[in-house]
Amino acid sequence: TAYLSAGDNPSKFQYAEFVRARDLNDSAQSVTNPGAESGTTGWTNETGTLTTDTAPTPHGGANVFKGTDADAVTKARQDVAVPGGEEPAIDAGERRGRLRWGQQATATADDTAEMTGRFLEGALAQIGGETSAGLTAEDIGAWTLRTLDVAIPTLTRHIRIAMNFVRDTGGTMDG
């Protein structure tokens, strides 16, 4: 099974940052409930059922996000508004975004688990997006830091963060 987790210790993997300005160290914009500490609060299910659990041991905090075995596909999302003061710099092509998270598979890496950043304009139409690589053998039994670092397209006003879990084979959600 694949899990996503984040703690509130800056030395551990962080998932609470996406919109960043200048050198990616200023103007961090946070995601609500990035580490599953408040259940699934802040996240909207698109498909399947996003749940939380205390196992495997999170790398920070007390919980992890996961898709259920009953659903072949689980997708959940959250929209983050771009701070108004950043709009001119985004429209000038001067801003980048970074999505960071921890990922683990407990048995096999034969299913898919990935994060997506979708860039939306003011009316919430998608104008761009990036998807992370899926699970690999290195994710089995150990937390792996993943990062998606991209240029933010001009006219972006919201960023949609999405967790995607897909059971490609078998009856257990490994992704």
Q: What is the pTM of this model?
A: 0.78
> What tens digit of pLDDT does each residue of 137-151 get?
666 777 778 888 888
What string of H, E and C letters represents the secondary structure of 5-37?
A: ECCCCCCCCCCCCCEEECCCCECCCCCCCCCCC
> What tens digit of pLDDT does each residue of 23-40 get?
333 455 678 888 888 999
What region, left, alpha or beta, does residue 70 occupy, with left being phi > 0 and alpha being psi -120 to 50 degrees? alpha
**Residue 75's closest CA among 43, 38, 48?**
48
The residue assigned the tokens 């694949």 is 2
DSSP, res 137: G
